[in-house]
Structure 1
Amino acid sequence: MASSDVTESVVVQVPSDPYRSFIYGEGEKDTVWRTGAPPNYEVVNKLFEEGRTNVWAPGTIEEKVQRMLKTWEMELIHKVRPQDYKLVDAEAFSHSVNGRPGKTLAEVQRIGGYNQFLETSLPEDLRAYDPSDYTAEESTNVFLNAFPRGFAIEILEVYSGPPKIAYKFRHWSFLDGPFQGHAPTGELVQLIGISIFTVDESTNKVGQVEFFYDPGELIGDLLKGPLLDGSDAPKVSGSVSGCPVISKLHI
């Protein structure tokens, strides 16, 4: 029997994420990840696909901005070194919530994304969630425990294109875990807001980011469950933000 050399081609499957860029591939081979490996978004992607209100066609402005938002969030949370950022502009970075002065990249990393997002000027005794009570790691764990399926985000509408991209977003999950001593309800928890990305068109990187939303929409839902110790939970007002303007915006 004649022998022949048969070379089989091996197809290597490169992992990918359908909604985020700059996680896998040659460009990320030297990236330093916070957990030692690229993040896996399979669970929250499932939540997103089951709960989104729109399926944006690839290449539309809505799909592009949605990918930008998810990628921006991924880089901030999971990439350790600013030199590994492909979308976040570390030098021009500024993150502000509800018109407060913007924070630098170092400041946001120090206090944590959730604490920055829920920063409030209310007196301490009126704060349903007090960011000063938690470190960056502690606040992340609080919300990971409350939302074991993740905290999905989608774009509802895009109002303007670059360099200032204004858009409406929706953030949601289900309260499947406890929050600050309150029992899980299994109910939908969501917030809707407006955000503005300022993009450097020469680098396509995002520098200044502004978010506008009512924190009470989120915190009120998180505190609906009874206290796990059996005591009576204080009633939470409709707007924990304390801002009568934001609470009445139809966004």
Structure 2
Amino acid sequence: MTSGNKAQASPALPDFMTDPDAVCKDTATWRIGRAPDYSNTRKYQSRTKTADHQIGSLPNLVENLVKNWEIEASFKTDTKQYRTVHPTEYEFYVNGKKLQDVESMTKTGTYNALISPNEYYSPEHIDFVESHKLFKRCMPTFAWEVIEVYSGPPKAAFKWRHWGEMKADYKGKNREGKEVIIPAHGGLVEIFGVSVAELDDEYRIKRLDTWFDPVSLFKEYSCPALAGLAGLKMSE
């Protein structure tokens, strides 16, 4: 694989680089008792994506890798069954701060790793399972795409977009443990960020660095311009 955007998929590449749902086909210990179903999210992405990468291109391969990483981090409970990360060297950083290694992946979850305590949400008051239920209720589909790749393996640097539609009220707890309710506006919610994935010779992630504004998601939820709503309520 080369760093050009027209790098072609090769038989030597692992399936998690060529198929966005490769790990869903694994025989594994799944958090929900079965493999997750991403079909609705994939259909939504196909209709609303802003980037249309050629199959086998570098952006397509990187996008597939990260999607499979997210599936494993969210739904596999046995770290020995992870295929997208190095079993002993994996580290996850957000805005320069180390937040996860392999073992903590199964305990923290992706939302609680990515979002630090703030005025809208706090992983200190919302556990792994509830965090996924909370955001799933609010946005039934939350698609993710690579916008642009700046460099290829062994260090793949890329810009990404994460988006969906706010179908139900956001109901969470902030860093003070107070309930926060943001009425649903039914409009588009999207956030952007930049990541760098350091890969080994089997294309497994050794280190993943991500930079983005965690509060931007909640600003999108509460933006009155989207639906004419003055949208934030907070319990005492």
Aligned 8 A contact 2:31 2:76 in 1? yes
Query: Runs ≥4 in structure 1, deviation > 6 angstroms?
Result: none
1:132 to 120, 124, 139: 124
SS in 1 for 2:22: coil
Distance 1:168 1:195 in 2: 6
For residue 83 of structure 1, report the CA deviation from its aligned partner: 2.1
With structure 2 as the length reference, what TM-score do the two structures score?
Answer: 0.79
Name 1:175's counterpart in structure 2: 166
SS in 1 for 2:121: coil
More strand, by proportion: 2
Name 1:249's counterpart in structure 2: none
Q: 1:233 to 1:63 in 2, by over 3 A?
A: closer
Indicate the structure whose relative CO is greater, using CA pairs within 8 Å and at least 6 residues apart: 2
For residue 18 of structure 1, report the CA deviation from its aligned partner: 5.4
Name 2:89's counterpart in structure 1: 92
Report the aligned-residue RMSD: 2.3
SS in 1 for 2:51: coil
> What percentage of aligned pairs have identical amino acids?
26
Distance 2:43 2:152 in 1: 28
Distance 2:20 2:107 in 1: 27
Give a deviation string over 1:3-40, Cα, whole Å, max 9, x none: xxxxxxxxxxxxxx95332322xxx3x42222222221
SS in 1 for 2:24: coil
Equivalent residues, number: 204
Q: 1:158 to 1:232 in 2, by over 3 A?
A: closer
1:190 correspondence with 2:190: yes
Name 1:143's counterpart in structure 2: 135
SS in 1 for 2:182: coil
**Deviates further, 170-179 or 99-108:** 99-108
Name 2:211's counterpart in structure 1: 212
With structure 1 as the length reference, what TM-score do the two structures score?
Answer: 0.75
Q: 1:102 to 1:216 in 2, by over 3 A?
A: closer
Q: State the structure with more CA Rg.
A: 1
For residue 77 of structure 1, report the CA deviation from its aligned partner: 1.3
Give 5+ residue unaligned stretches, structure 1.
Answer: 1-16, 121-125, 226-230, 236-251
For residue 51 of structure 1, report the CA deviation from its aligned partner: 1.2
Distance 1:84 1:232 in 2: 42
